[in-house]
A = this chain, B = another copy of it.
């Protein structure tokens, strides 16, 4: 019957302890581990919502990438943004185009390139999904005051501002 699954908090505690023991720095691991644990949990919830929309996580990643970019993107860019091999994007786009969520259009200036964009139906699906996930996300942050949310966002944004300087 298996022992019950440990709480997320307990998992986090153990994870940090393990990483520190393995040679990681505690102040680093507390943050990184928490960020990853949170993402994993969110991903599980999204997966559940996506079933209703008959989308895979990978397809959803394409839709959000296009929505967030606010402009057309090439298959290669989409592959990078969604952490997938370029060759995999071909099939994903085939499926999404077949469902009428995205469309491919040739670049007149560079005929090796193709632009992918969201259709109206794609935008509509995006809006529906976002309003659904915002509910869960609000619940997740419910124990933080407005001031704390602002501070949390600020600190994370400091970290993000540094990201590009690292692998450069």
The residues of A with any CB-CB pair to B shorter than 8 Å are 2, 5, 7-9, 11-12, 14-15, 18-19, 22-25, 27-32, 34-45, 47, 67-70, 74, 76-77, 80, 83, 113, 126-127, 130-131, 134, 136-144, 146, 148-153, 155-164, 166-167
Contact = CB atoms under 8 A, between A and B. Distances in A.
Which of A22, A45, A161 is packed against the most chain B CB atoms within 10 Å?
Answer: A22
Given A38-B159, A141-B31, A144-B155, A8 B134 contact: no
Contact of A23 (B32, B42, B83, B130): B130
Given A35-B38, A70-B18, A143-B162, A23 B155 contact: no
B8 A156 contact: no
Contact of A30 (B44, B139, B140, B157): B157
User: How many copies altogether?
Assistant: 2
Contacts of A130: 19, 22-24
B160 A155 contact: no
A80 to B, nearest CB: 7
A143 to B, nearest CB: 5
A22 B155 contact: no
Contacts of A153: 27, 30-31, 34
A5 B126 CA distance: 23
